[in-house]
Structure 1
Amino acid sequence: MTENTKNKLRVLAVASHPVQYMAPIFRRLAAHPRVELRVAYCSMRGAEGGIDPEFGTEVKWDVPLLDGYDWVDVPNVGSGKESFWGLNNPGLKELIRGGNFDAVLCFVGYVRATFWIARKASKKARAAFLFGTDSTTLAPRDGKTWKKWVKRIVWPWIFGLADQVIVPSSGTRDLMLSLGIAEERVTLTPYSVDNDWWIAEAAKVDREAERSKLGLKPNEAAILFCAKLQPWKRPTDLLQAFAKAKLGDTKLIFAGEGPLRADLEADAIRLGIAGQTRFLGFVNQSALPALYKLVDLMVLPSAYEPFAVVVNEAMCCGCPVLASDQVGAARDLLLPVSPELVFPAGNVDVLAERLAGAFENRERLAGLQSKALAHIKTWSPERNIEATLKAIEAGIARVRGS
């Protein structure tokens, strides 16, 4: 151990696979003068490409995922499926026991065998074990009520295993407190993106040129849906609300792929708005700043959405977002900009009213763009890193009894 590293906190982050949202956070954490970071990836999905089951198409992110920090690929002996044994990385035992880590940050959920391997190894190595969730409700995505009651019984015990619980939003923090987790054991680490990158990329965009590429006329407005075309994202609600709002000189753009695409295209024809809709399919990361910049409003009508970092991305590009009250980011990112940017999930009539109201006053909508950008600058990766450091220190102190 060198003089430069002996006073640093040795931290291992355990992640299921490389993700475009987490890579910038890992880079910043690795660059912090008080941290020596290593990331253990339990699969290389995302970096190597492959079929995303929810997009229903091949996904390989076109931005660097593995640069700027130390990482290791821990072999997965599991099936790779979305099941308990799908992620099973016994190599973590030796990595944790022999790594002399002060803390282990686990970003793999408790529904995978790997979580329990990491937890047991951390306990034996006397390393602080930190983990969390992004859920803001006990209600599951599939709507099965029995799961909600099981969580109510089991979650207090599970999250009680953490030496410190890390949560990305105010809604998740309140959920943990409602389960009886002590306030001092919960740290809010704001779910952030690389704000500087998104703001800089958006500044490079020639808005009129990008609008022209999509065939938008100078006087036309544009609304964006940017998510997987899955039932819980409720893209059909937006399509119906758009038709009900009767917005002339406005286009509705769907960026994303999924099993609902054919139905949405058929519904657009049935509703008489096919000429006002565009389906772009999967849009990779590098093309998103231009997309956010060319539209006037993004809408996320999800019935289940723990956070939604697309909200962060859009706001960094100066695009206001209208989202349902089931989107985790709504409370922290949208309500402070304007209460009108949040509507009841599943209420097509209210959504139609909000759309009509937004485009009745284009000047006010433009004003929301600047407010959105100003607010997202306060929800930054710098805040995330500082909060993560505090969580690590709290976890270490708890393990060492100081």
Structure 2
Amino acid sequence: MKKITWCAVARAPYLDYLHTEVDKHFDLKVFYKIKERTHPWELDQVHFKNKNIDGNLLKVLSLSLRSDLLIISGWAFWQHLILMLFPMGSTKKIYWTDTPNLDKQKWSGIKGYIRRIIIKIVFNVFDEVWSTGTPGCEALEKLGCDKKKIRSFTFFFDLNRYTNISPIQIKKALAFKKRNINSDNDVIFLCAGQVISKKRFENAIEAIRRLNNRNVVLWIAGTGPQEEELKRFAIELNVLSQVKFLGWLQQDEVELAFISSDVFVHPSHFDPFPIVVLDAMTWAKPIIATIESGSAKDRVIDGISGFLYPSGQVETLANRMQYFVDNKKAIKEFGLEARKTACSYPVEWAIERLRSVVR
């Protein structure tokens, strides 16, 4: 059985699922920079071998030398830097990154200079550099990575989880919906994520005002420092009764929100590769998202499985939302197309990609 050493920053639901599946086909050992749970969702117990990289760096180096493949995902500064620079003999090395931010300000000054040095090392010492989708691969090329080294390697979901919704889930979803609507609403739009300025949830609230339809509701799932500001904004626009702040939801509650809602809206200014968009697509939800959201740009087929629009263009967002209010049949049609796209990325695809590297 081929051996893989995988170094990541911290546990997350999508990584747990991927590592669990990879462990079935490879001798996998995972090391985290942050071993304790940092993801706000409760995470299930996992059975693949995993440890903290701190205090185990020599062991990681030893294992890497005896592995067929070393994968570094994310960035834990000096530990990953040592692993990058340490001669690995015949071990293949892959760096897996989210969509890089090409904002000029990020690459200027002393910090920008250091980033450019590190990224040059990454491009030189790794056999392949993976990003989460087409936008990320294009960004890597713009940063100077050899096109021959660039590969797409995305996030994966357990697609079987979404196939059959149990009667109990349906009952819970109906109760969830009843708690969070005023009446029989025409369309329920859902936003989800940290309530922070870069998510631009205020644009979705402004779009609700422009719709001027009291039977349309916006759910915002999540918490964060901007929550009270957004509530005041909704009051100013006289739409607080239509904007429901759901607060923090655990994973099973997020599923209820997906089941109960109609259309997913992601108005972020810049979001490298938001997993929540992919999650919404697996639940067969049409997507309205900004082209600055990497996963939406990568997966959403404009006019088929959803709509893409430039960040900040509230009128365009409102028009796209109005389309689903006026064409309710399109909600199911677009949603099925979104689900079809999600199903074209099964975890078996990841297993085959890894096999092709260590073959």
In the other structure, the counterpart of 1:317 is 283
The residue matched to 2:4 in structure 1 has which SS? strand
Shift of 1:180: 3.6
Which of residues 24, 37, 56 is equivalent to 1:91? 56
Residue correspondence of structure 1 range 143-158 to structure 2 within 5 A? 144=106, 146=108, 150=113, 155-158=119-122
Q: TM-score, normalised by structure 2?
A: 0.90
Counterpart residue identity of residue 353, structure 2? A
Larger deviation, residues 180-189 vs 35-44:
180-189
1:275 Cα offset (Å): 0.7
> Conserved in 2, the CA contact under 8 Å of 1:242 and 1:352?
yes
Deviations along 1:103-147, whole A, 9 cap, x unmatched?
A: 2111131x62221132234x256532211321254127xx65626
Unaligned runs of 5+ in 2: none
User: Which of 62, 75, 79 is the matching residue for 2:42?
Assistant: 62
Residue of 112, 115, 134 corresponding to 1:170:
134
- Following superposition, the deviation at residue 337 of structure 1 comes to 6.5
Structure 1 residues 42 and 275: CA distance shift in structure 2, 3 A: same
Change (3 A) 1:310 1:337: farther
Q: CA deviation at 1:230?
A: 0.9
Give aligned pairs, total.
354
**Structure 2 match to 1:39:** 30
Quick check: 1:116 aligned with 2:81? Answer: yes
Would the aligned equivalents of 2:190 and 2:261 in 1 still touch at CA under 8 Å? yes
Q: Hey, which bits of structure 1, 4+ residues long, moved more than 4 A? A: 147-154, 200-204
Checking the alignment, whether the CA contact within 8 Å between 2:208 and 2:216 is kept in structure 1 is: no
Q: In the alignment, residue 134 of structure 2 is paired with which amino acid?
A: S
- Letter of the aligned partner of 2:325 in structure 1? F
Deviation at 1:310, TM superposition (A): 0.6
Amino acid corresponding to residue 37 of structure 1 in structure 2: L
**Structure 1 stretch 12-21 or stretch 194-203: which is displaced more?**
194-203
9-18 or 256-265, larger mean C-alpha shift: 9-18
**2 CA distance for matches of 1:70 and 1:233?**
35
Q: Structure 1 unaligned runs (5+)?
A: 1-7, 50-58, 75-88, 394-402
Corresponding residue SS for 2:47: coil
SS of corresponding position for 1:280: strand
Alignment of 1:180-191 (within 5 A): 180-191=144-155
TM-score normalised according to structure 1 size:
0.81
For residues 323 and 353 of structure 1, the distance between their equivalents in structure 2, rounded to whole angstroms, comes to: 13
Corresponding residue for residue 9 of structure 1: 2
Offset, 1:204 = 5.8
- Letter in structure 1 aligned against 2:12: V
Q: Does 1:131 align with 2:95?
A: yes
- C-alpha RMSD of the superposition: 2.5
CA distance in 2, matches of 1:175, 1:181: 9
Cα deviation for residue 358 of structure 1 reads 2.0
Counterpart Cα distance in 2 of 1:136 and 1:358: 33
In structure 1, give the amino acid aligned to 2:274: A
> Is the deviation greater in 129-138 or in 318-327?
129-138
Which residue identity does 1:389 align to in structure 2? R
Quickly say closer, same or farther: Cα 1:307–1:392, change in 2 above 3 A. farther
Do the aligned partners of residues 391 and 230 (structure 1) sit closer, same or farther apart at CA in structure 2, a change above 3 Å counting? Answer: farther
SS in 1 for 2:70: strand
Equivalent position of 2:343 in the other structure: 377
Contact 1:187 1:391 in 2 (8 A): no
Cα distance change on mapping 1:117 and 1:315 into 2, 3 Å: same
Query: Is it true that 1:73 corresponds to 2:52 in the alignment?
Result: yes
Greater RCO (Cα-Cα under 8 Å, separation 6 or more): 1
Percent sequence identity over matched residues?
19
Give distance in 1, aligned partners of 2:20 and 2:189. Answer: 33
CA contact (8 A) 2:203 2:312 kept: yes
Deviations, residues 83-121 of structure 1 (Å, cap 9, x unaligned): xxxxxx352223321562222111131x62221132234
Amino acid at match of 2:308: V
- The residue aligned with 1:18 is 11
- Counterpart residue identity of residue 42, structure 1: K
